[in-house]
């Protein structure tokens, strides 16, 4: 480690050359973190392929694209508020990203109680996000009759794109909730006292990535 | 800054970015709420999206504090995706133009909305 620390004196491009030409470990991060990043880069490709597929069917379909603003509107007694459910889901996911960032920070301070608490809060926000998504899906399927092969509004591709992209994202959120709860429980038991708390940051990377993907879905699928 | 010591930063920066993400999301939502349309809508939505994504990756995911070897591994490969997107835009525009031109589809067709459908439920086709 001390040798590695020596090489790390150089940052930027010099550091890049150093790291790759030193004939040893190229990434000076815990291996789990490097692996998580490589997984996330591959996941970026999967989601981008989905979004690019969506771009292509939306460009090529000659039927009008349904108006998302009105389809995802929700009424609380009065007039329907456009896209409100999606806005709430977006804010929930951002809130959970914030609590996750705090959990990572308290993890490095070795404050187990706070790390555990913030990780559980993050998981709870994530679970409520999935719950709202389940509500959104059932509303679209049961009330509006949207199906992967068609819908009453316009281009049939709307349904397939919607179920595929939000479904795959929802699956990521659900997996993230389980992952966070497992790690949070281990934090509480003191499993990482000797190993170090990098694992909280690694779990955090996954969680922020899920939020990041939602930023793109929110913009391209719901707003544009 | 050393990765060996972990990514430890003052809490203040997280709070600031957190608030900023809320503000940017509200702006995105406002674009829809106030029904901004056309090129303005696209530019605003994409601007807020890029800013949000940038802050999440740079600060929350700590990329701005990582060494360049890791930063390039993370940000380099996705650049080829821009190429894919560019190709698909060209291809998609060509396909739709061909369809409109030779298959006689209506360019100005308007999608139905839930309120159209629920009001017309009695006179179902």
Given CB atoms, is B87 within the 8 Å cutoff of chain A?
Answer: no
Give the other-Cβ count within 10 Å of B3's Cβ: 20
* Whether the Cβ atoms of residue A188 and residue A176 lie closer than 8 Å to each other: no
Q: Round to whole Å and give the CA distance between A12 and B94.
A: 43
List, for residues A41-95, the tens digit of each pLDDT value: 999 999 999 999 999 999 999 899 998 888 888 888 778 888 889 999 999 999 9
List, for residues A176-219, the tens digit of each pLDDT value: 999 999 999 999 999 998 888 899 999 999 999 999 999 999 99
Please report residues of B whose CB lies closer than 8 A to that of A144. 114, 117
Give the pair of three-digit tokens for residue A170. Answer: 């929802």
Smallest Cβ–Cβ distance between B96 and the set A13, A29, A59 belongs to A59
Calculate how close chain B gets to A185, using CA atoms only, in Å.
Answer: 21
pLDDT at B4: 44
Chain A, residues 156-195, CB within 8 A of chain B, namely: none
Is A30-223 a CATH 1.20.120.80 domain?
yes
pLDDT at B120: 58
Chain B, residues 17-76, CB within 8 A of chain A, namely: 17-18, 21-22, 25, 28-29, 31-33, 35, 41-42, 45-46, 48-49, 52-53, 56-57, 60-62, 66-70, 72-74
Residue A50: in which H helix or E strand, if any? helix A31-60
List, for residues A125-155, the tens digit of each pLDDT value: 999 999 999 999 999 999 888 999 989 998 9
pLDDT at B124: 52
Domain ranges (residues) in chain A: 30-223
List, for residues A148-180, the tens digit of each pLDDT value: 998 999 899 999 999 999 999 999 999 999 999
> Can you give the pTM of this predicted structure?
0.90
Task: Kindly give the confidence (pLDDT) of every residue in chain B, 125 residues in length, as a single tens digit, with 9 standing for 90 and above.
Answer: 444 456 788 889 999 999 999 999 999 999 999 989 989 999 999 999 999 999 999 999 999 999 999 999 999 999 999 999 999 999 999 999 999 888 878 888 888 888 787 765 555 55
Q: Which residue has the tokens 């329907």?
A: A80
Report ipTM (2 d.p.): 0.89
pLDDT at A139: 92
pLDDT at B5: 54
The DSSP annotation for A91-158 comes to: HHHHHHHHHHHHHHHHHHTT-HHHHHHHHHHHHHHHHHHHHHHHHHHHIIIIIS--BTTB-SSS-THH
């Amino acid at each position: 480690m001390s040798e590695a620390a020596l090489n790390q004196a150089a940052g930027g491009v010099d550091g890049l050359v150093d790291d790759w030409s030193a004939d040893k470990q190229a990434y000076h991060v815990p291996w789990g973190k490097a692996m998580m990043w490589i997984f996330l880069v591959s996941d970026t490709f999967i989601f981008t392929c989905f979004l690019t597929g969506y771009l292509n069917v939306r460009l090529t379909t000659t039927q009008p694209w349904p108006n998302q603003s009105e389809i995802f509107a929700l009424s609380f007694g009065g007039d329907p508020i456009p896209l409100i459910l999606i806005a709430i889901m977006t804010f929930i996911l951002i809130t959970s990203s914030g609590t996750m960032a705090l959990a990572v920070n308290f993890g490095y301070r070795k404050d187990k109680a706070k790390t555990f608490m913030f990780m559980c809060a993050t998981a709870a926000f994530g679970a409520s996000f999935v719950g709202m998504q389940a509500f959104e899906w059932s509303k679209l399927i049961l009330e509006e009759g949207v199906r992967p092969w068609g819908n009453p509004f316009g281009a049939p591709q709307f349904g397939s794109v919607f179920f595929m992209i939000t479904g795959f994202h929802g699956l990521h959120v659900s997996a993230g909730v389980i992952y966070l709860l497992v790690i949070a429980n281990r934090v509480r038991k003191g499993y990482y006292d000797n190993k170090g708390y990098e694992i909280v940051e690694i779990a955090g990377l996954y969680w922020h990535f899920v939020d990041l993907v939602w930023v793109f879905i929110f913009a391209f699928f719901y707003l544009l | 800054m050393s990765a060996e010591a972990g990514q430890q930063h003052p809490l203040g920066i997280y709070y600031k970015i957190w608030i900023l993400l809320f503000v940017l999301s509200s702006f995105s939502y406002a674009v829809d709420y106030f029904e901004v349309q056309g090129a303005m809508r696209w530019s605003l939505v994409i601007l807020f999206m890029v800013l949000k994504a940038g802050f999440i990756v740079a600060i929350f995911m700590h990329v701005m504090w990582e060494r360049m070897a890791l930063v390039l591994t993370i940000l380099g490969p996705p650049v080829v995706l821009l190429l894919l997107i560019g190709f698909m835009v060209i291809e998609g525009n060509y396909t739709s133009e061909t369809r409109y031109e030779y298959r006689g589809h209506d360019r100005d067709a308007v999608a139905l909305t839930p309120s159209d459908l629920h009001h017309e439920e009695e006179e179902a086709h």
